[in-house]
Amino acid sequence: MIQTESNPRAFLEMLQKLTLVSLSTWFLFVPGLSAQQITLRLIDGDGSAVAGTVMELLSESVLDSTSMGMREAQIDQLDKEFVPTVTTIVAGGNASFPNSDDILHHVYSFSPAKTFDTPLYGSDADSQYHETFDVPGVVEIGCNIHDWMLAYIYVGQSDLMAISDGQGIATLTGIPPGEYTLKVWHSRLDAPQNSLQQVVLIEAGGTKEIDMTLQLVRDRRVRRAPSASRKRYR
Protein backbone atom coordinates (compact mmCIF):
# COMPACT_ATOMS: atom_id res chain seq x y z
CA MET A 1 0.00 0.00 0.00
CA ILE A 2 2.89 2.23 0.60
CA GLN A 3 3.71 1.92 -3.04
CA THR A 4 0.44 3.50 -3.97
CA GLU A 5 1.18 6.40 -1.71
CA SER A 6 4.40 6.96 -3.50
CA ASN A 7 2.62 6.78 -6.83
CA PRO A 8 -0.41 9.08 -6.83
CA ARG A 9 -1.40 8.35 -10.38
CA ALA A 10 -1.68 4.63 -9.77
CA PHE A 11 -3.53 5.34 -6.58
CA LEU A 12 -6.07 7.53 -8.37
CA GLU A 13 -6.65 4.95 -11.04
CA MET A 14 -7.12 2.32 -8.43
CA LEU A 15 -9.65 4.50 -6.66
CA GLN A 16 -11.55 5.03 -9.90
CA LYS A 17 -11.68 1.34 -10.57
CA LEU A 18 -12.77 0.61 -7.06
CA THR A 19 -15.58 3.14 -7.36
CA LEU A 20 -16.70 1.66 -10.64
CA VAL A 21 -16.70 -1.82 -9.21
CA SER A 22 -18.65 -0.80 -6.09
CA LEU A 23 -21.10 1.23 -8.15
CA SER A 24 -21.82 -1.61 -10.50
CA THR A 25 -22.19 -3.91 -7.56
CA TRP A 26 -24.64 -1.52 -5.99
CA PHE A 27 -26.74 -1.29 -9.11
CA LEU A 28 -26.67 -5.01 -9.43
CA PHE A 29 -28.16 -5.63 -6.02
CA VAL A 30 -30.47 -2.70 -5.54
CA PRO A 31 -33.57 -3.98 -7.41
CA GLY A 32 -34.02 -7.41 -5.81
CA LEU A 33 -32.70 -7.02 -2.31
CA SER A 34 -33.54 -5.02 0.70
CA ALA A 35 -31.00 -2.62 2.24
CA GLN A 36 -29.07 -4.86 4.70
CA GLN A 37 -25.64 -3.40 4.90
CA ILE A 38 -22.39 -3.94 6.81
CA THR A 39 -19.79 -1.29 7.12
CA LEU A 40 -16.37 -1.95 8.52
CA ARG A 41 -14.30 0.94 9.73
CA LEU A 42 -10.66 -0.06 10.15
CA ILE A 43 -7.91 1.75 11.93
CA ASP A 44 -4.51 0.61 13.02
CA GLY A 45 -2.80 0.97 16.38
CA ASP A 46 -1.90 4.56 15.55
CA GLY A 47 -5.49 5.42 14.65
CA SER A 48 -4.76 5.69 10.95
CA ALA A 49 -7.19 4.30 8.43
CA VAL A 50 -6.17 0.91 7.08
CA ALA A 51 -6.71 0.50 3.36
CA GLY A 52 -6.32 -2.76 1.46
CA THR A 53 -8.05 -4.84 4.07
CA VAL A 54 -10.27 -7.61 2.77
CA MET A 55 -13.63 -8.19 4.46
CA GLU A 56 -15.29 -11.50 3.69
CA LEU A 57 -18.62 -12.75 5.00
CA LEU A 58 -18.84 -16.51 5.28
CA SER A 59 -22.14 -18.28 5.75
CA GLU A 60 -23.20 -21.93 5.75
CA SER A 61 -26.21 -21.09 3.70
CA VAL A 62 -24.75 -18.67 1.28
CA LEU A 63 -21.62 -20.69 0.70
CA ASP A 64 -22.33 -21.26 -2.90
CA SER A 65 -19.47 -19.80 -4.72
CA THR A 66 -20.83 -20.53 -8.07
CA SER A 67 -23.91 -18.46 -7.59
CA MET A 68 -22.44 -15.04 -7.73
CA GLY A 69 -20.00 -12.91 -9.65
CA MET A 70 -16.38 -11.76 -8.99
CA ARG A 71 -14.99 -14.60 -10.97
CA GLU A 72 -12.86 -12.42 -13.13
CA ALA A 73 -10.18 -10.10 -11.95
CA GLN A 74 -7.47 -8.14 -13.63
CA ILE A 75 -4.19 -7.20 -12.11
CA ASP A 76 -2.45 -4.69 -14.28
CA GLN A 77 1.27 -4.06 -14.29
CA LEU A 78 1.66 -0.35 -14.55
CA ASP A 79 4.84 1.60 -14.00
CA LYS A 80 6.44 -1.51 -12.54
CA GLU A 81 3.78 -1.90 -9.93
CA PHE A 82 0.86 -4.28 -9.64
CA VAL A 83 -2.45 -2.41 -9.80
CA PRO A 84 -4.33 -3.01 -7.66
CA THR A 85 -2.16 -4.43 -4.96
CA VAL A 86 -5.02 -6.25 -3.28
CA THR A 87 -7.55 -8.10 -5.36
CA THR A 88 -10.37 -10.36 -4.26
CA ILE A 89 -11.53 -13.24 -6.31
CA VAL A 90 -13.96 -16.02 -5.60
CA ALA A 91 -12.46 -19.48 -5.66
CA GLY A 92 -12.56 -20.88 -9.14
CA GLY A 93 -12.27 -17.44 -10.64
CA ASN A 94 -9.72 -16.19 -13.08
CA ALA A 95 -7.21 -13.42 -12.83
CA SER A 96 -5.42 -11.97 -15.79
CA PHE A 97 -2.15 -10.07 -15.68
CA PRO A 98 -1.97 -7.57 -18.51
CA ASN A 99 1.28 -5.68 -18.93
CA SER A 100 0.82 -1.95 -19.43
CA ASP A 101 4.51 -1.23 -19.25
CA ASP A 102 6.80 -1.12 -22.23
CA ILE A 103 9.13 -3.62 -20.61
CA LEU A 104 8.75 -7.28 -19.85
CA HIS A 105 7.49 -8.73 -16.61
CA HIS A 106 7.71 -12.17 -15.12
CA VAL A 107 4.86 -12.86 -12.71
CA TYR A 108 5.19 -15.68 -10.25
CA SER A 109 3.76 -17.06 -7.04
CA PHE A 110 5.09 -19.63 -4.61
CA SER A 111 2.02 -19.42 -2.42
CA PRO A 112 0.49 -22.77 -1.49
CA ALA A 113 -2.92 -21.54 -2.64
CA LYS A 114 -1.59 -21.14 -6.14
CA THR A 115 1.92 -21.66 -7.44
CA PHE A 116 2.59 -20.42 -10.90
CA ASP A 117 4.86 -18.40 -13.01
CA THR A 118 4.48 -16.84 -16.36
CA PRO A 119 7.16 -16.52 -18.94
CA LEU A 120 8.57 -13.07 -19.59
CA TYR A 121 6.05 -11.12 -21.54
CA GLY A 122 5.32 -7.66 -22.68
CA SER A 123 2.35 -5.45 -23.47
CA ASP A 124 2.22 -6.71 -27.02
CA ALA A 125 1.56 -10.26 -25.90
CA ASP A 126 -1.46 -11.41 -27.83
CA SER A 127 -2.71 -13.63 -25.12
CA GLN A 128 -3.14 -12.03 -21.77
CA TYR A 129 -1.76 -14.34 -19.20
CA HIS A 130 -4.31 -15.49 -16.71
CA GLU A 131 -4.56 -18.05 -14.04
CA THR A 132 -7.44 -19.86 -12.38
CA PHE A 133 -7.53 -19.75 -8.60
CA ASP A 134 -9.35 -22.78 -7.27
CA VAL A 135 -8.09 -22.94 -3.71
CA PRO A 136 -9.22 -20.28 -1.24
CA GLY A 137 -6.37 -18.48 0.40
CA VAL A 138 -3.96 -15.65 -0.19
CA VAL A 139 -1.73 -15.74 -3.22
CA GLU A 140 1.28 -13.48 -3.12
CA ILE A 141 2.45 -12.58 -6.56
CA GLY A 142 5.69 -10.98 -7.49
CA CYS A 143 7.70 -10.11 -10.54
CA ASN A 144 10.95 -11.88 -10.96
CA ILE A 145 12.45 -8.86 -12.68
CA HIS A 146 11.25 -6.19 -10.29
CA ASP A 147 11.79 -7.35 -6.77
CA TRP A 148 9.65 -4.72 -5.21
CA MET A 149 6.51 -5.58 -7.19
CA LEU A 150 4.09 -7.33 -4.87
CA ALA A 151 0.36 -7.92 -5.00
CA TYR A 152 -2.08 -10.06 -3.08
CA ILE A 153 -4.90 -12.03 -4.56
CA TYR A 154 -7.43 -12.93 -1.92
CA VAL A 155 -9.17 -16.07 -3.13
CA GLY A 156 -12.38 -16.06 -1.19
CA GLN A 157 -14.86 -18.77 -0.37
CA SER A 158 -17.84 -16.46 -0.77
CA ASP A 159 -18.57 -13.63 -3.04
CA LEU A 160 -19.33 -11.30 -0.15
CA MET A 161 -16.03 -9.57 -0.13
CA ALA A 162 -14.98 -5.97 0.01
CA ILE A 163 -11.66 -4.12 0.26
CA SER A 164 -11.23 -1.14 2.53
CA ASP A 165 -10.64 2.17 0.82
CA GLY A 166 -8.34 4.99 1.68
CA GLN A 167 -10.60 5.92 4.61
CA GLY A 168 -10.31 2.39 5.95
CA ILE A 169 -13.94 1.75 5.17
CA ALA A 170 -15.21 -1.44 3.57
CA THR A 171 -18.92 -1.73 2.85
CA LEU A 172 -21.10 -4.60 1.71
CA THR A 173 -24.75 -4.01 0.84
CA GLY A 174 -27.64 -6.23 -0.10
CA ILE A 175 -26.57 -8.99 2.14
CA PRO A 176 -29.16 -11.59 2.86
CA PRO A 177 -30.06 -11.53 6.51
CA GLY A 178 -28.55 -14.24 8.58
CA GLU A 179 -25.58 -15.26 10.69
CA TYR A 180 -22.20 -14.83 9.12
CA THR A 181 -18.61 -15.32 9.97
CA LEU A 182 -16.87 -12.03 9.33
CA LYS A 183 -13.28 -12.64 8.16
CA VAL A 184 -10.88 -9.73 8.03
CA TRP A 185 -7.54 -10.12 6.30
CA HIS A 186 -4.66 -7.76 5.89
CA SER A 187 -1.21 -8.60 4.58
CA ARG A 188 0.35 -7.21 7.73
CA LEU A 189 -2.26 -8.19 10.25
CA ASP A 190 -0.65 -9.59 13.36
CA ALA A 191 -2.69 -12.79 13.53
CA PRO A 192 -2.58 -16.37 12.22
CA GLN A 193 -2.80 -16.29 8.44
CA ASN A 194 -3.02 -12.53 8.83
CA SER A 195 -6.73 -12.83 9.44
CA LEU A 196 -9.32 -12.39 12.16
CA GLN A 197 -12.79 -13.91 12.36
CA GLN A 198 -15.91 -13.07 14.28
CA VAL A 199 -19.57 -13.97 14.03
CA VAL A 200 -22.00 -11.24 12.95
CA LEU A 201 -25.73 -11.33 12.70
CA ILE A 202 -27.30 -9.45 9.83
CA GLU A 203 -30.89 -8.64 10.51
CA ALA A 204 -33.39 -7.87 7.81
CA GLY A 205 -33.22 -4.24 6.87
CA GLY A 206 -30.51 -3.81 9.43
CA THR A 207 -27.33 -1.90 9.03
CA LYS A 208 -24.29 -3.11 10.79
CA GLU A 209 -21.38 -0.89 11.49
CA ILE A 210 -18.28 -2.37 13.03
CA ASP A 211 -15.19 -0.47 14.11
CA MET A 212 -12.04 -2.53 14.25
CA THR A 213 -8.53 -1.73 15.32
CA LEU A 214 -6.02 -3.87 13.54
CA GLN A 215 -2.61 -4.67 14.98
CA LEU A 216 -0.31 -4.48 12.01
CA VAL A 217 3.22 -5.73 11.89
CA ARG A 218 5.83 -3.41 10.61
CA ASP A 219 6.14 -3.22 6.89
CA ARG A 220 9.47 -4.33 5.45
CA ARG A 221 10.34 -2.41 2.42
CA VAL A 222 12.07 -3.65 -0.63
CA ARG A 223 14.14 -1.10 -2.40
CA ARG A 224 12.82 0.01 -5.72
CA ALA A 225 15.39 0.10 -8.49
CA PRO A 226 16.90 3.51 -9.14
CA SER A 227 14.79 6.00 -11.01
CA ALA A 228 17.40 6.63 -13.67
CA SER A 229 16.82 3.25 -15.19
CA ARG A 230 13.08 3.81 -15.04
CA LYS A 231 13.37 6.88 -17.18
CA ARG A 232 15.53 5.12 -19.68
CA TYR A 233 13.32 2.11 -20.20
CA ARG A 234 9.81 3.48 -19.87
The footprint of another protein (CB under 8 A) covers 108, 110, 115, 140-144, 147, 149-150, 187, 220-223
The region that residue 11 occupies, defined by phi over 0 for left and psi between -120 and 50 for alpha, beta otherwise, is alpha
Cβ neighbours of residue 117 closer than 8 Å, sequence gap 6 or more: 106, 107, 108, 109, 144
Distance separating the N- and C-terminal Cα atoms of the chain? 22
Rounded least distance, CB 76 to another protein, Å: 17
Rounded least distance, CB 103 to another protein, Å: 17
Rounded least distance, CB 152 to another protein, Å: 9
**Whose Cβ is closer to another protein: residue 147's or residue 211's?**
147
**Whose Cβ is closer to another protein: residue 111's or residue 171's?**
111
**Whose Cβ is closer to another protein: residue 70's or residue 151's?**
151
Rounded least distance, CB 118 to another protein, Å: 12
**Whose Cβ is closer to another protein: residue 13's or residue 140's?**
140
**Whose Cβ is closer to another protein: residue 143's or residue 202's?**
143
Rounded least distance, CB 203 to another protein, Å: 39
